[in-house]
Structure 1
Amino acid sequence: MCRYVIKLLMSCLFMLTLISCGEVTKNPQSVFYRLSKTPIEFGVFSSDAKLATFVSHGVLTVTKADGSGILHQFEIGGSKVTGLAISKDSTLLAVSFEKFIVVWNLVSGAELGKFNMSGNSEFAKISHIALYAKPLKLLVGMTDGTLNLLDYENSLTKQVNYHDARISFLALGPHRQLIISAGHDGLVSLHDANTLASTYQYRMSKRVTSLAHNLQHNLLFVSDALNDQVLINPFASQVEITKLKYKERFRWFRAAAISPDGQYLATGSSKYWWTLWHTKNGQEIGAFAIKAASTTALILDMHIDKQNMLATLNSDGIVELWDINTLVKMNR
């Protein structure tokens, strides 16, 4: 009887959650590719979303995102993966574990090197990585807020403390002149990539759970773990801040992507749907259910190309394509 009551209450709570988030629409195009028959623990797209890499049952797989073929598979055992990254030109792959990073050449499939990483604290572990080729550079965030910048070709490593807690996001800006970082201390920062000096900071009330930028890096979306989700132009003469507008008390944003032209924002939730927004005013356009093979599927990574085609990668190993232009017209 108790089990029946618990199930009934859970079902009611689930239905209330659906209702509170508004109507969830299915994909009108229904274009999807199943990349893995088993759930994936960690997964990311390449910068053009033509490749995807993911971890499942101790195997790291690099595959074409349209399901047309596996490029490489690497045995990594049972060690905990903390980060994945493909270089912008799709020639290098990095996977981080708690204390070290392995880099592979995706052209030859050969291992390029293994790099041990540390923070200021002896207990610090790797929390986030970003990888760049020609020349090879690694940005490595640690759980104690330390950032390591590894310049492979010059055998140079720089270390600086940007944050007071775990680093959750790292990227190099246009022409590699800026470093963008965010952490569980709620701080979003821009830094000069050469001097590592801070050039801009924005403070969230809680830990940052997702961050995205457009092609020019002049529009940032930042979400914390409670109810603060903002769009920021950090380079405007007067910093412009737009808040997302929704009826609920709070929402959880796990992944995000901004269209290259800066018009639209896509956000992934902790459930099996994602939401499309206008960046100009923070208004919601619509919510859309992902293609899933289980009830626990959620989006791991998102990418929007110049034609406003959104690609989503979920924890069931499914890549789904969405035409944002069509979705906008549907929801006018």
Structure 2
Amino acid sequence: MPEKTIVRMRSWFAWSAFGLLSWVSPLWAAPGVVFALQERTAVDNSGELAPYPALEFVAQIRGEQFRNPPLPSDTDFKFFGENHFKKNNRYFLWRQDEPLGEAKAVLPDKVPSLYGSLEAPLQSEQRLLPLPELDLVVATDQPLKVRPRKAPSEETLAIVDSLARAALAKQGLPDDLVTKTSRVWAAAAVMPGRPETVVALYRHTFSLRQAGATFKRLVNLLLVAEPVTDKGQTTWQPQLSLASFGNPETSTIYGPLAVVDLNGDGNDDLIVRETRFDRWVYGIYSRYDGKWQQRYTGREGNYSSDIPEPPPTEEEPVP
């Protein structure tokens, strides 16, 4: 058989196989960018402060890497806005694995920098506000891969709670504060081929009187725990422990947060909004190179007057 004929046949078989695979299993593209929803306020036509939802940039997703876009100039800020905040840009909204529908970003007159944060108003046919206090609502340019996820059992949570108390005691907290710091949020993280992983958040707020004055104090603990088998014996052990306590100006508050598979590699990632007084960043944590670790820290945001105006009233959906 002539060589040209063989090459053509190979090419035909290759394209036929590709077409068959595409028909049997539709192609899926991992998200290229992830945003978080924020609640903003602006003066409406009646002169009153009114809340509206906004998209806030978290990270660009490039395979296993999470990145910040290079934005050294106003021109690059505008380029970012044109690419991500155009009015026809559609985003998929998620609360954990639960889809909340779709929404469109509205390109503001200028793409603001809240000390590094990038955001734009959001339009949606469904009501998005008020946002959950502890569940981080995220927006992606492509649908997430959603997999079955079981809530941690009460027995498992009791074990994780004991690990949390041990972690707080190790930080030097008195026994009464350790006891009063309760779990406020928990979720399972899926790791194919690995045992159950639990992410849990603990908080306690109290008042402290000193020299006739009353001061607010915070206790925060973010814990990731897994069962570990060693010499035939399985015990739950902390894999990631982030603790912060003290006054609100210096303590880090962890949350809201979400456990989702951002890049479609089968392993869940943990997205956490980390706030210290009036500043915040988004951190992404996941199991990488055999251990749970921080993979990414986003740009710092700050409460500021330099935020985009909400969409015009006539364009807002009627509740």
Work out whether the TM-score is over 0.5.
Answer: no
Query: Which has the bigger relative contact order, CA under 8 A and spacing at least 6?
Result: 2
Point out the structure with max Rg over C-alpha: 2
Structure with the bigger percentage of helix: 2
